[in-house]
Amino acid sequence: MAKEEMGMRDQLRSKALGAKREFASEIVETEDMEFEVRQPTVAIRGRIYQKALPSNIDRSENEEEMAQSLMSRVDYAQLQIWAVIECTYVPGTDDNVFESSDFEALSQLPAGTFLDDLSSAAMKLLNVKPKEDAKN
C-alpha cells in the first residue's frame, strides 16, 4: 500500500472508530409507566435477530442463499419481545427493565398492552440512522 493511501486509511479509520457514539432513544409512556427504549449496538442488534431465528436453521446452505432466506425465517413475535428485553431501560440509567428470564412472561401478555408500545419503539430503533433520529 502506498504511503499516501496508508495515511488516508489511517485517517479514515481514526475518524470512523474514534467518532462519538450517540445512540438514539425514545421515552415511551404507557399504562402509567415510563420506559426508555434505546438504539442497540450492532452486536446487540445481531443478538436480537439471532434469538428470533428458529434453532433448526440449516447452516450448510451457501451463505448467499442463507442470507436471502433468513428474514423469511424470523419469528416476528420473538423478534419484538427480544428487542424489548434488550432495548428497554429504566429512564436515565443503564439498567435494563427486563431480562432474558422474562421472555416467557412477556410472550404470554395479551396483544395491545404496553409490550406493543415498547416493541414499536424498539423495532424502529433497530434500524435508526443516528444523525436523523438522535434528536430524541
Structure confidence by residue, pLDDT tens digits, 23-61: 999 999 999 999 999 999 999 998 998 898 876 666 555
Name the band, by pLDDT with cuts 50, 70 and 90, for residue 20.
Answer: confident
Question: What is the rounded distance in angstroms from the CA atom of residue 82 to the CA atom of residue 84?
Answer: 5
Query: What is 23-133's CATH number?
Result: 3.30.2220.20
Q: What is the CA radius of gyration of the chain?
A: 18
Residue 115: how many other CB atoms lie within 10 Å: 19
The number of residues in the chain equals 136
Question: What is the rounded distance in angstroms from the CA atom of residue 113 to the CA atom of residue 7?
Answer: 54
Q: What share of the chain is helix, strand, coil (3-state, %, to 5)?
A: 55, 10, 35
Mean pLDDT (the chain, rounded): 84
Name the band, by pLDDT with cuts 50, 70 and 90, for residue 130.
Answer: very low
